[in-house]
């Protein structure tokens, strides 16, 4: 058997190496035949599961000390398969050490013609990733130089740059003495330093928010604290948006604490200052490593781990416009004229909150009250919109983001028409709500319909939480998918503390103050 050290991850050695191998592709767990399955072995399995790695290779050593007994090996194999199955893992390979010695282990027969260990050393070529250093133009030829981080590129390849999404066809490829790769293009192709070139069919993710799983080695940190974020593609500033989980490395039990201390396993949501190109553990594990640093002068290392996009969408398609040859027209009736006729300005009241927080109830009641007072008003509700405008979308992170993008643009059109539109959507991602705000400009009012998850579960008007808690509904916000509460909403309506009537009155007063002319 051929083990490639560059692609192996040893769960047994992970802590002692300070997570330096935490993003490698093939996890390996080594069991001792003389000891059976111990608590530490189960912890290693939990570590593989926590890190979202591939199904592990499991090897059993020290069989010589028990006389290469087949029954003992098969007992260990059966018991550890059960351990893995309990945490939704299946070994990709389970075998004895040493491998490939039939004289010592005549009863061992490997399943299949090619083992998982052999396949790991014959892994597919990783996707093209080139970090741009500079762009130049000379005599009608455009050139880009940078470091080739993974993959291959040849003349004629169609490539794109992230996060600018600029595309082009490679004319020539050449190496330079300083270790840089040079690509030339016939068509104008200027790429900013720091961008990442890839083949257009396999680009990195573009996002400003992602999940991090890591071993914490730095000072105590809390939710909201600023950090410096370093990936293989560059460094940027960000913050710990939320602390999802803190686990003891010795017991793998969750620690009830919002402050992260050295030595803990952590799961964080990190938000950076702008959209960046990244790779994650599910797409390109070798490039998913991330380091978090203190923002202080000493810039001490806080954590090493990897990036996961679980629960979050690739924002590339939301940022890329495919419309060409279009020219916006000027309307004969302007927004001021509409406001003068209606007696109020148009605008967007964007209700966001968990399912069961009361968004739809308040939206319907508010619409009726405002209509009685003479307002031009209309409700866009999540369930109603999904019957038509977004009926082709599901509830994956990508589909959720596209759902809100469409609704945000429709709400902006209502605003232009002088209507107060009440948009009632969970809209769990801040980035999506920010795009809706951008579409409506200064007439966007984010209204946080606040109710904690316990209150929403208790209400459960549609029975969705009950089904989600049983696992019948995947990607359910607040249970198996994230909800990012607003940082600075224009208005907070606390339905957990107030009656419906009091909440509606609060909303009516807000509209009277902010929309009347």
Could you give all domains of the chain from N- to C-terminal order, each with its CATH number?
5-121 (3.40.50.300), 129-199 (2.40.30.10), 205-310 (2.40.30.10), 335-515 (3.40.50.300)
Alpha carbons 243 and 190: distance in angstroms, whole number: 39
pLDDT of residue 15: 47
Strands 181-185 and 221-222: unpaired
Look at residues 106, 45, 47 and name the one whose alpha carbon lies nearest to residue 73. 106
CA angle 69, 71, 77 (to 5 degrees): 110
Query: What's the first-to-final CA gap in the chain, in angstroms?
Result: 78
Residues in contact with 142: Cβ distance below 8 Å, sequence separation at least 6, in sequence order = 135, 136, 168, 184, 185, 186, 187, 188, 189, 190
pLDDT of residue 9: 46
Q: How does DSSP classify residue 388? A: T
Environment class of 418 (CB within 10 Å of its CB; exposed 0-12, middle 13-18, buried 19+): buried
pLDDT of residue 110: 64
pLDDT of residue 120: 47
Catalytic choice (427, 442, 443, 480): 427
pLDDT of residue 421: 98
Alpha-carbon distances, residue 191 vs 320, 384, 514 (angstroms): 16, 43, 44
pLDDT of residue 117: 46
CA angle 405, 407, 412 (to 5 degrees): 95
Phi first, then psi, for residue 498 (nearest 5°) are -125, 160
Residue 19 corresponds to which tokens in the numbers above? 């997570």
pTM: 0.73
Residues in contact with 357: Cβ distance below 8 Å, sequence separation at least 6, in sequence order = 449, 450, 451, 455, 456, 495
Look at residues 403, 412, 165, 111 and name the one whose alpha carbon lies nearest to residue 275. 165
Coil, helix or strand for 424?
A: strand
Tens-digit pLDDT string for the chain (517 aa): 333 333 444 545 544 444 444 444 578 899 999 998 988 888 888 888 888 777 889 999 999 899 889 999 999 999 999 999 988 899 989 999 877 677 778 888 765 434 444 444 445 678 999 999 999 888 778 999 999 999 999 999 999 999 999 999 999 999 877 889 999 998 888 889 999 999 999 999 999 999 999 988 877 888 888 999 999 999 999 999 988 888 887 777 788 766 787 888 899 999 999 999 999 988 898 899 999 999 876 778 999 999 999 989 999 887 766 666 677 888 899 999 999 999 999 999 999 999 999 999 999 999 999 999 999 999 999 889 999 999 999 888 889 999 999 999 999 999 999 999 999 999 999 999 999 999 998 899 999 999 999 999 999 988 999 999 998 998 899 998 999 999 999 999 999 999 999 999 999 999 999 999 9
427 is catalytic: yes
pLDDT of residue 323: 64
Contact at 8 Å (CB) between 302 and 212?
Answer: no
């Amino acid at each position: 058997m051929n083990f490639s050290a560059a692609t192996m991850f040893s769960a047994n050695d992970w802590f002692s190496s300070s997570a330096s191998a935490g993003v490698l592709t093939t996890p390996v767990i080594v069991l001792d035949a003389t000891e059976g399955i111990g608590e530490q072995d189960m912890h290693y399995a939990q570590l593989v599961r926590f890190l979202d790695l591939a199904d592990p290779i499991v090897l059993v050593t020290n069989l010589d000390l028990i006389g290469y007994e087949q029954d003992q090996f098969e007992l260990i194999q059966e018991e550890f398969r059960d351990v893995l199955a309990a945490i939704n893992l299946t070994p990709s390979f389970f075998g004895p050490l040493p491998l490939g010695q039939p004289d010592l282990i005549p009863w061992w027969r490997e399943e299949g013609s090619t083992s998982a260990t052999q396949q790991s050393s014959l892994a597919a070529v990783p996707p093209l990733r080139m970090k741009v250093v500079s762009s130049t133009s000379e005599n009608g030829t455009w050139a880009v130089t940078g470091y080739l981080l993974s993959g291959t590129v040849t003349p004629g390849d169609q490539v794109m740059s992230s996060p600018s999404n600029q595309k082009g066809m490679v004319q020539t490829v050449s190496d330079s003495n300083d270790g840089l790769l040079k690509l030339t293009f016939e068509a104008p192709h200027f790429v900013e330093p720091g961008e990442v070139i890839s083949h257009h069919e396999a680009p990195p993710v573009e996002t400003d928010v992602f999940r991090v799983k890591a071993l914490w080695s730095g000072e105590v940190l809390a939710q909201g604290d600023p950090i410096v974020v370093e990936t293989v593609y560059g460094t940027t500033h960000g913050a710990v948006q939320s602390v999802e989980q803190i686990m003891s490395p010795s017991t793998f039990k969750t620690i009830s604490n919002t402050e992260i201390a050295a030595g803990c396993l952590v799961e964080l949501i990190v938000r950076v200052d702008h959209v960046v190109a990244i790779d994650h553990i599910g797409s390109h594990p070798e490039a998913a490593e991330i380091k978090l640093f203190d923002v202080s002068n000493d810039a001490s290392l806080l954590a090493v781990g990897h990036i996961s996009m679980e629960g979050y969408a690739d924002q590339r398609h939301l940022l890329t416009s495919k419309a060409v040859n279009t020219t916006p027209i000027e309307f004969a009736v302007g927004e001021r004229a509409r406001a003068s006729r209606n007696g109020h300005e148009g605008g967007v009241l964007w209700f966001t909150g968990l399912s069961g927080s009361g968004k739809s109830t308040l939206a319907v009641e508010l619409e009726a009250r405002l209509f009685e007072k003479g307002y031009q008003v209309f409700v866009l509700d999540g369930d109603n919109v999904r019957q038509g405008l977004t009926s082709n979308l599901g509830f994956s992170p990508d589909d959720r983001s596209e759902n809100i993008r469409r609704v945000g643009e429709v709400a902006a059109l209502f605003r232009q028409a002088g209507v107060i539109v009440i948009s009632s959507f969970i809209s769990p991602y801040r980035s999506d709500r920010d795009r809706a705000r951008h579409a409506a400009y200064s007439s966007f009012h984010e209204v946080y319909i606040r109710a904690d998850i316990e209150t929403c579960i208790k209400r459960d008007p549609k029975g969705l939480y009950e089904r989600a808690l049983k696992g019948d509904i995947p990607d359910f916000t607040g249970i198996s998918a994230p909800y990012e509460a607003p940082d600075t909403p224009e208005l907070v309506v606390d339905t957990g503390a107030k009656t419906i009537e009091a909440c509606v009155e609060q909303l009516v007063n807000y509209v009277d103050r902010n929309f009347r002319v």
